[in-house]
Amino acid sequence: MLVPALFWFALAFIVACIEIESEGKWGWAEKAPTWFRTTGVVGKTYGLLMGGKPFTGYHLFMFLLPPMMFHIPFVSGLKLTLAAEFNVWALFFVWCPLWDYLWFVLNPEFGAAGFKKDKVWWYANSIWIFGLFPADYLIAAAISFAFAGGAQLAGKSDALAGHAALLTLFLFMTAMTIAASPLYHRWYRYMRRSDDRDKAGIFHR
């Protein structure tokens, strides 16, 4: 379980860093050149399911990406079974909150200490557990274990134990990342001391 946990954690780390590089401190695509919807059937339904967050073009595609990645082994030849499909969605619902939280941990504009309800507008409508994290994370974890239970019922005898071990390793790795995050923050700021955009031969339209 350690190797898969390291792989999926590293992937969440990289995706979080990509988002930090593209969004900066403006989370939930606030300043991105994408569309926002809070009205209409789709916008209202999304907001209801996502704790009041707006639906954006950015998130439409970003939320489609992980399931596609998690299914790569099956289009590469691994047999897709009902148990395996349940396992994919168990991973999805525990991996997405990890990716989301790492965005805050690694983002020097927030850090773990800056992950507060009054500082994150897109979680302002969420219930926070002891003021530490939004209930969205707990709900996603519960859904992930429901899928893991489905995988076990479908024939993967160690699905629940394996999923619990995966989550435990994710929590440990997250704690280590929080401890080491000041190093990333320093590197992030160091790389922005100068910029070669004016030398890159960019054509403006």
Largest CA distance in the chain: 59
Q: What is the pLDDT of residues 82-131, one digit of tens each?
A: 999 999 999 999 999 999 999 999 999 999 999 999 999 999 999 999 99
- 108 phi and psi angles, rounded to 5 deg: -65, -15
**Residue 125 resides in a domain:** yes
**Per-residue pLDDT at 205 exceeds 80:** no
**Residue 182 resides in a domain:** yes
**Per-residue pLDDT at 67 exceeds 80:** yes
Specify whether the CB–CB gap between 8 and 94 falls below 8 A: no
Among residues 124, 133, 132, 112, the alpha carbon closest in space to that of 175 is found at 112
Q: What is the DSSP string of 10-39?
A: HHHHHHHHHHHHHHTT-TTTTTSSS-EE-S
**Residue 66 resides in a domain:** no
Identify the domain containing residue 96 by its residue range.
2-25+80-192
Residue 1 — pLDDT band, cuts 50, 70, 90? confident
What is the torsional sign of CA 169, 94, 114, 103? positive
**Residue 45 resides in a domain:** no
**Residue 55 resides in a domain:** no
Q: Give the amino acid at 130.
A: F
**Residue 123 resides in a domain:** yes
Q: Give the amino acid at 17.
A: C
Q: What integer pLDDT is reported at residue 51 of this predicted model?
A: 87
Share of the chain above pLDDT 90, in %: 92
**Residue 36 resides in a domain:** no
Instruction: Identify how many contiguous H helices and E strands the chain contains and give both numbers.
Output: 7, 4
Residue 204 — pLDDT band, cuts 50, 70, 90? confident
**Residue 61 resides in a domain:** no
Q: What integer pLDDT is reported at residue 88 of this predicted model?
A: 96
Cα 163–Cα 165–Cα 166 angle in degrees, nearest 5: 65
Q: b or e along 165-190 (b: 16 or more beta carbons within 10 Å of the residue's beta carbon)?
A: ebbebbeebbeebbeebeebbeebee
Q: What integer pLDDT is reported at residue 74 of this predicted model?
A: 95
**Per-residue pLDDT at 136 exceeds 80:** yes
Q: What is the pLDDT of residues 17-34, one digit of tens each?
A: 999 999 999 999 999 999
Q: What is the DSSP string of 133-162?
A: EEHHHHHHHHHHHHHHHHHHHTT-TTHHHH
The pTM score is 0.94
Q: How many domains does the chain have?
A: 1
Q: Which residues contact 58 (CB under 8 A, 6 or more apart)?
A: 29, 32, 34
Mean pLDDT score of the chain: 95
Specify whether the CB–CB gap between 106 and 181 falls below 8 A: yes
- 167 phi and psi angles, rounded to 5 deg: -65, -40
